[in-house]
Copies of this chain bind each other. A is one copy, B any other.
Amino acid sequence: MIDYHLLEALHAVISEGGFERAAKTLFITQSAVSRRIHHLESSMGEPVIIRNKPPMPTPFGQRLLNHYQQVRQLEIALALPNLDEQTKPSPPLLVKLATNADSLATWLPEALAVSREKTAQQYQFDIVVDDQSVALKRMKSGEVMACVCSSKTPVNGGKSLALGAMRYHIVASPRFVDTYRYSNPSELAKLPCLVFDENDKLQHQFLADLGAQSPTIVHYCPSTEGFLQAALAGLGFGLLPALQLANTIESGVLVDLMPGHWVDVALYWHYWQTESPPLMILREHVLAVASKRLESL
């Protein structure tokens, strides 16, 4: 079994940002901290820390830290069988989470705000925005505890649950529609098109499904809100989440270029089988909010 005192030292060095401060938190000497880290590395046969200022975990070290967090949460759950507001609150649980940008800009923050009635556990979120392939790599390496992405297949040791679908409509500003006349999807494909970044193939896919070519003039705009602002400013057409469009279509500041046509992108919550109780409560809250805000699959 792992010597958890060594993991505790690793955690302290990373969270405190140095060996000296870690020593203070652990009430041991700095050389004792160094010895524990060395011991951990020699017993694991792999480096766990990159000795920078501040020290950073190696991918393997990050995996150990993730494991350490989960074990600590299991311990906290043991000591606090009834999650009562009266009991002393446990320290915030650091939840590292990967997500696609559009979820973070729309429904996800509400889904992460678990009310205090549900749990005495405070969460502290470290959110990273990534395209799907990178997000799943972070999940595989144990760098994140959960991940929102459009791939259903769970990673080894993980599970996935359907959250619902984000619905995208193809829109442009009234000025754009007036300036650039087009009569079919192939002509539309030749007009300036908004694309999130080079990993975003949504517009390409949408046009291909209509039998059109790939867009020729592409603006890369890597911001969900910037994408909306770019559409409003008439820079190009693009697919925007219904959740973000709000009443822009009804009020006439944007035009739905193909009413009745949309793209649904299914989203999944990836998590570890060894899920601690606070993470289970978080997951249930995320699923409840997602089922309200997203389209059912």
Residues on A lying within 8 angstroms of B by beta carbon are 92, 101, 104-106, 108-110, 112-113, 116, 122, 124-129, 179, 192, 217-226, 229-230, 232-235, 244
Across the interface, which residues of B come within 8 angstroms of A122, CB to CB?
Answer: 192, 217
Contacts of A220 in B (CB 8 A): 125-128
Taking CB as reference atom, which chain B residue is nearest A226?
B104
Select A106's contact among B101, B105, B106, B229, beta carbons within 8 Å. Answer: B229
Q: Which residue of B lies closest to A128 (CB)?
A: B222
Least distance between A254 CB and chain B CB atoms (Å): 13
Q: Is the CB of A116 within 8 A of B218?
A: no
In the bound complex, CA of A230 to CA of B108 (Å): 8
CA distance A238 to B190 in the complex (A): 42
Q: How far is the CA of A219 from the CA of B112 in the complex (A)?
A: 11
The secondary-structure label for the interface of chain A is mixed
A125 and B234 alpha carbons, distance in the complex (Å) = 13
Chain B residue numbers with a CB within 8 Å of A106 are 225, 229
- Point out the residues of chain B lying under 8 angstroms from A112, CB to CB: 230, 233, 235
Contact A127 B219 (CB under 8 A): yes
Contact of A109 among B92, B109, B129, B230 (CB under 8 A): B230
Q: How far is the CA of A126 from the CA of B221 in the complex (A)?
A: 7
Measured between beta carbons, the chain B residues less than 8 angstroms from A223 are: 101, 104-105, 127, 129, 223-225
Q: Which residues of B contact A232 (CB under 8 A)?
A: 109-110
Known A-B contacts A179-B116, A192-B122; the reply to A104 vs B221 at CB < 8 A is: yes
Select one of B105, B116, B218 contacting A225, CB under 8 A: B105
Given A192-B124, A226-B127, check contact A217 B92 (CB 8 Å): yes
Give the chain B neighbours of A235 by CB distance below 8 A: 109, 112-113, 125
Give the docked Cα–Cα distance between A110 and B113 (Å): 33
Q: A116-B179, A226-B105, A229-B105 are in contact. Are A221 and B127 (CB under 8 A)?
A: yes
A229: chain B residues within 8 A (beta carbon): 104-106, 108-110
Q: Nearest-CB distance from A253 to chain B (Å)?
A: 12
Cα-based distance from A232 to B112 in the complex (angstroms): 12
Once A129-B222, A223-B224 are accepted as A-B contacts, the answer to whether A109 and B179 lie under 8 Å apart by CB is no
**A-B residue pairs in contact (CB < 8 Å), sample of 27:** A92-B192, A104-B222, A104-B226, A105-B225, A105-B226, A105-B229, A108-B226, A108-B229, A109-B230, A109-B232, A109-B233, A110-B229, A112-B235, A113-B230, A113-B233, A122-B192, A122-B217, A125-B220, A126-B219, A126-B220, A127-B223, A127-B226, A128-B220, A223-B223, A224-B225, A225-B225, A225-B244
